[in-house]
């Protein structure tokens, strides 16, 4: 039973690592050149601070995800990992939602502010960004589940166990 | 000692409640009319999906913050509160960073996407949004501290206690 649970957590961590690594790579490789009324312009993730933050945050969480995999299962440091999980999940959440907010403006524009949508001109770039956001979102969900599972194991918040 | 700790947590929760309530109110009351080249336009929080999300998220977390204050200190439901704290802090974090990303475009624009800054035309609106973001950010920090403190109390992640 304990072994199955440990395997599930490990699997969850591996999937979360895959999600954050692919989110960072897909976002970092997103660029497209387009011509708009004979003006050539390039869409690149590094032109938007929120997307740069997204790549950096996902890279940091990926490094953390790799390091955690090397921690022996009997180490007392797993208690610290619960706290670190919270910190890195908050980092990941903030980066995904900042990038999502900008992507929403890129797709639909904001007529009140006079910001035009750009996805019509650079559809491939927008597709790339969308893929990265989906991967990042999966990473957030998996890390949130890991935290809630840790809390469930330690605290029994739903009071399922009889004392 | 236990009483002092409980008082600190209560104080932290009260401050967090104050922060989220004021963030929601300040954002919701932010609007300004301006004339730009003889075209009159109104800047309002409801024109931006990220700001609407910010108001809704802060309102939800405020309601949660009020409800938690009524929980008796000896209730076993405090274990559930740790899990709920995590969920609502993630909600709050995502709303603050989405609003921050949009506010950054509003202030500095994005020359690559052709999005012009609007804060020059509606400085009071931008000031309001800034105030709301600061309050929301304080709320996030306080809730993050509450979670880390809960984990510290239950798990001793820094291994300070001798077993």
Count of the separate structural domains present in chain B:
1
Q: Do A47 and B151 touch (CB under 8 A)?
A: no
Judge whether A152 and A8 are in contact, CB under 8 Å.
no
Q: Is the pLDDT of residue A163 over 70?
A: no
Looking at residues A87-116, what average pLDDT do you find? 95
Q: Do A90 and B95 touch (CB under 8 A)?
A: no
Partners of A44 on chain B (C-beta within 8 Å) are 112
B160 within a domain of the structure (yes/no): no
Judge whether A136 lies within some domain. Answer: yes
CA–CA dist B43, B22 (Å, integer): 20
Tokens 């798990």, residue? Answer: B155
- B102 sits in the region (left: phi over 0; alpha: psi -120 to 50; else beta) called alpha
The answer to whether the CB atoms of A94 and B93 lie below 8 A apart is yes
> Is residue A162 in a domain?
no
Partner residue facing A105 (CB), from B42, B105, B144: B105
CA nearest to B64, candidates B20, B102, B107, B24 = B20
Give residue-wise pLDDT tens across range A25-61. Answer: 999 998 888 876 777 778 899 999 999 999 999 999 9
Q: Which domain holds residue A116?
A: 2-29+45-155
Q: What pLDDT band is residue B142 in, cutting at 50, 70 and 90? A: very high
User: DSSP 3-state assignment of A48?
Assistant: coil
Interface of A with B in 81-120 (CB under 8 A): 81-83, 86-87, 89-90, 93-102, 104-106, 110, 112-116, 118
**pLDDT higher than 90, residue B154:** no
The model's confidence at residue B37, banded by pLDDT at 50, 70 and 90, is: confident
- Is residue B55, in this structure, part of any structural domain at all? yes
- Residue B66, chain A, CB below 8 Å: the answer is no
Which residue, A19, A80, A86, is CA-closest to A54? A19
For testing contact with chain A, the best of B78, B146, B150, B155 (most A CBs within 10 A): B155
Residue B112 lies in a domain: yes
DSSP-assigned letters across all residues of B130-145: HHHHHHHHHHHHHHHH
Q: Which of A76, A147, A155 sits opposite B79 (nearest CB)?
A: A155
Give the pLDDT of residue A90.
Answer: 97
Closest A-chain CA to B41: A112
Put simply, the answer to whether A83 touches B47 (Cβ < 8 Å) is no
The answer to whether A9 contacts chain B (CB < 8 Å) is no
Distance from the A62 Cα atom to the nearest Cα atom in chain B, whole angstroms:
19
Cβ A157 vs Cβ B147: under 8 Å: no
Q: Is the pLDDT of residue A161 over 90?
A: no
Chain A positions in Cβ-Cβ contact with residue B93 (cut-off 8 Å): 90, 93-94, 97
Assigned token pair, A79 = 């208690």
Domain assignment present for residue A142? The answer is yes
Cβ of B86 within 8 Å of Cβ of A86? The answer is: yes
Model confidence at B102, in pLDDT bands (50, 70, 90)? very high
Structural domain contains residue B163: no
> For B92-101, what is the mean pLDDT?
97
- What is the rounded distance in angstroms from the CA atom of residue A142 to the CA atom of residue A138? 6
Partners of A43 in beta bridges = A32
A vs B, Cβ pairs < 8 A, gives 137
Q: Residue B32, SS3?
A: strand
């Amino acid at each position: 039973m304990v072994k199955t649970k440990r395997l599930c957590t490990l699997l969850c961590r591996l999937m979360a690592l895959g999600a954050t690594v692919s989110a960072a790579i897909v976002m970092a490789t997103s660029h497209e050149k387009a011509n708009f009324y004979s003006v050539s312009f390039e869409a690149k993730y590094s032109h938007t601070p929120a997307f740069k933050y997204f790549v950096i945050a996902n890279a940091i969480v990926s490094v953390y995800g790799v390091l955690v995999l090397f921690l022996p299962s009997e180490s007392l440091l797993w208690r610290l990992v619960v706290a670190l999980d919270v910190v890195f999940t908050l980092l990941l959440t903030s980066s995904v939602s900042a990038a999502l907010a900008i992507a929403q403006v890129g797709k639909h524009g904001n007529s009140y502010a006079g910001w035009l949508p750009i996805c019509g001109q650079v559809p491939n770039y927008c597709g790339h960004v969308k893929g990265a956001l989906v991967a990042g979102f999966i990473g957030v969900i998996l890390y949130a589940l890991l935290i809630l599972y840790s809390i469930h194991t330690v605290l029994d918040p739903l009071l399922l166990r009889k004392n």
